[in-house]
Amino acid sequence: MLRRSLDYDLSHPIDISESSGVRYLHFGSDWVQGAMRIRRPYDLELAYTREMMAGLLLRGDGEACPEPAGGWPRSVLQIGLGAASLTRWLHHHVPGAKLTVVEINPRVVAMADHMFKLPEESERLEIVIADGADFIAEATRAWDWILVDGFDPDARTGRLGDETFFAACMKHLTRRGLLTVNLLGRNRGFMGSVERLRNASAGRSVVFPSCDSGNAVAFAATGDPVAEPLVDLRQRAQSLKAATGLDLLPTLSRLEQSGSLVGDALVF
């Protein structure tokens, strides 16, 4: 585990609750920062975490990555660990990808290890204790997929919502790279976040309709255009469901109903 020097208040509470077989992570309030169904830890319990995996439909083939020699993604950077939901899922279902997880609070990492089945570090998984904005600004390499899900106890993104941060993420994507960001659709700063992401990606972004929880997942791409017919996305979603149990067909139906498609395709 790598550690960087931090200028960050680490003293906020980190709490755990359980209800109906689901364990929840909180930062001193009722607001949920992450969740895990105890008997099915590799499932993605929260709807927005499932939708963040839609990148596998946009750049991948809708299947788990079978071998280290091929497929997309080969490399993933995750900024914000929370209850380790994305980390567990990717580590389990996409074994061909190497994961780097950046979390600012070492106490969150310890809690994820103790209570949320965080996988052990290995050649496939590196945990870095650092400010995500500093980490990406100083990075010297690129990743196929960058996932950003970072909020403080007051549901603020801080520097992880700045246009400078989004631009740095875009700079550190590979030719077929994808940036995925969890936004709060009911937050008064939501449209500002959308605009900053649009500016940083030169307009090559799309925001999925808000989930019932209010989370809205945004995607931005580099290199090859994303221009995927809905029929192909549905076929990949069916393959992904068969391979992993993750069902993104409802997400595609919501995209179609919201008018987010260009004709019968998702384009950005």
DSSP single-letter state for residue 66: -
Tokens of 233: 């996305």
Give yes or no for a contact between 22 and 36, defined as CB atoms under 8 angstroms apart.
yes
Distance between CA atoms of residues 104 and 109, nearest Å: 9
| 65 SS3 class | coil
pLDDT on residue 63? 59
pLDDT on residue 69? 45
- Cβ neighbours of residue 114 closer than 8 Å, sequence gap 6 or more: none
- Cβ neighbours of residue 137 closer than 8 Å, sequence gap 6 or more: 164, 165, 168
Tokens of 224: 């090859």
Tokens of 262: 């260009």
Which of the following is catalytic: 149, 212, 247, 264? 149
Handedness of CA 19, 40, 36, 157 (dihedral sign): negative
Nearest alpha carbon to residue 123 among 92, 98, 105: 98
pLDDT on residue 5? 55
Amino acid identity, position 261: L
pLDDT on residue 68? 42
Burial bucket for residue 120 (CB in 10 Å: 0-12, 13-18, 19+)? exposed
List, in sequence order, every residue forming a beta bridge with 37; answer none if it has no partner: 22
pLDDT on residue 178? 98
pLDDT on residue 70? 56
pLDDT on residue 189? 87
pLDDT on residue 230? 97
What are the 10-residue block averages of pLDDT along the chain, 268 residues in total? Answer: 66 93 94 96 98 94 53 96 98 96 96 98 98 98 97 88 98 97 90 97 97 94 95 96 96 94 95
**Pure H helices in the chain:** 47-52, 55-58, 85-93, 106-115, 132-138, 163-171, 190-200, 230-244, 249-258
Distance between CA atoms of residues 173 and 226, nearest Å: 15
Q: Please list the helix, strand and coil fractions of the chain in percent, rounded to the nearest 5, in that order.
A: 30, 25, 40
Catalytic (active site) residue 149: yes
pTM: 0.94
